[in-house]
Homo-oligomer: A and B are copies of this chain.
Amino acid sequence: MESYTILPASQFLFCPLNPNRTRSTITFNPLKQRISHPTSVQCQKMYVPGYGDASQEKKAAQQLHDFFTYIAVKIVNAQLQSYNREAYAELMQFLEQHSLNDGDKFCADLMRESSRHRSLALRILEVRSAYCKRDFEWDNLKRLASKMMDEHNTKVMRDYVSETHVMTESEK
């Protein structure tokens, strides 16, 4: 059977710090009248290549930014449906003609459509900010993402094992 030797995750750590500075011990210097305790700096993060200046967290924040605009449009649309049918119809019509993939572009285009649409755009900007800062449950997101990771990893492996088991059984 052909196979690679795949090393465990712990052997692939990346630390941009100067190795000479890790586990450094700063001794007491009476002249400076400062007492320093031994400090230990350890970086155990995996190296992610090719992102230039943008961190992975910033990339994820960008994805969520467009998602929040999408949510804000849904919220405003539901509000208009109950108290301003005219504005609701206009927003629905605008949605049919413009993509929500780029949230900022959608708001900018809506702002330039007419003075009525401008009020709607300002409302969407206000709602997406309030939703991001107040309503969205960040701790729940972290919990769900970890849980989803475990479930999906198990499913991918279980499906493969089931499939190969069926194939082995049919070969008997």
A79 x B12 contact (CB < 8 A)? yes
Residues of B within 8 A of A63 (CB): 63-64, 67
**In the complex, A5 Cα to B87 Cα: how many Å?**
10
**In the complex, A131 Cα to B46 Cα: how many Å?**
8
Identical subunits present: 2
Asked, given contacts A2-B115, A4-B119, A108-B156, whether A67 binds B75 with beta carbons under 8 Å apart, the answer is no
Q: List 28 A-B contacts (CB under 8 A).
A: A4-B87, A4-B120, A9-B130, A12-B79, A46-B127, A47-B79, A48-B74, A48-B78, A55-B140, A56-B71, A56-B136, A57-B137, A57-B141, A57-B144, A60-B136, A64-B145, A65-B145, A104-B156, A107-B156, A125-B156, A128-B149, A128-B153, A129-B149, A129-B150, A129-B153, A132-B145, A132-B146, A138-B142
